[in-house]
Amino acid sequence: MQYSSGDGGLGGQVEEAAYSPALPRDVSSPCVSCDVRTQAVCAVLSDEELNGLASLTQTNTYEVGDTLFFEGDTAGACFIVQGGALKLYKLLPDGRRQITGFLFKGDFLGMTPVEEYGYTAEVLEPVKACSLPSEKMQALVETYPKLSNRLLNLASMELAVAQEQMLLLGRKTAQERIASFLLWLSRRAEDRGESANPVRVPMSRGDMGDYLGLTVETVSRSITKLKTSGVITLKEGNRIEITDLDMIEAIAAGDGA
């Protein structure tokens, strides 16, 4: 399983000096002062433990269209998203693309039990992310059981999302899929402490279609139908306002028009 939230066993030993919980607290440490600390996988670590983590990580920025890694690349690092949005996708042998998820601020990706990444992570809007070598991440997991438990929780949430995705693709209509997706984006924003409405939609309609199993035309028709029926309003800056929450929830549940 790819450990990523949202939406993703390595070997190695811990170097005592790098991970000692006795390290002095440094409130200026980028990990201690990071604004996604309470949301990210490292939320379970203390200030002192984060001091050690900070010496092993590096922070990079990525522009739209950049990739953190490609499917099939050697899995050399794990990432924590500090800002922006990413899409995860796999390519079929015939070149078709299936988007498997979207990641946002606070999400974790890149840890895998095999030697290669199982998907591509591409930037949807400018991303800031810290990275940690895979072997160091595994060493931390072995040193701090609470980090292992945190990863297990993330994997469990990822499985729940995958099960919901199977239901969405297998049983829901196009209208129900779009409604469910917009509500999911709204909940994710609220979880990050951002505005849940209007909903920020950083992905294109083509990306939405590749995730929801719909054509671009069907996505556009479904959004237009929701708009003309007064359920949503399209805003500037890739935002969609949910103007009738009860109705969009009913549509998502299969009880609407």
pLDDT per position as a tens digit, 66-122: 999 999 999 999 999 999 999 999 998 988 899 999 999 999 999 888 999 999 999
Pairing mode, strands 97-104 and 199-200: unpaired
Q: How far apart are CA 251 and CA 185, in angstroms?
A: 16
CATH level 2 (architecture), domain 172-252: Orthogonal Bundle (1.10)
Q: Does domain 16-161 have CATH number 2.60.120.10?
A: yes
Residue 62 predicted with pLDDT over 80: yes
Which residue ranges does the chain devote to CATH 2.60.120.10?
A: 16-161
Q: Which residues lie below 8 Å from residue 60, measured CB to CB, with a gap of 6+? A: 128, 129, 130, 131
Angle at 38 between CA 34 and CA 39, to 5 degrees: 100
Render pLDDT for 128-185 as a digit per residue (tens, 0 to 9): 999 999 998 888 888 888 888 888 888 888 888 778 887 778 788 999 999 999 999 9
CA 167 to chain centre: 20
Q: Which residues lie below 8 Å from residue 175, measured CB to CB, with a gap of 6+? A: 222, 225, 226, 251, 256
Q: Which residues lie below 8 Å from residue 204, measured CB to CB, with a gap of 6+? A: none
Q: What is the pTM of this model?
A: 0.82
pLDDT at 18 (0 to 100):
36
Mean of per-residue pLDDT scores for the chain? 85
Which residue ranges does the chain devote to CATH 1.10.10.10?
A: 172-252
SS3 106: coil
SS3 240: strand
Q: Mean pLDDT across the stretch 239-243?
A: 97
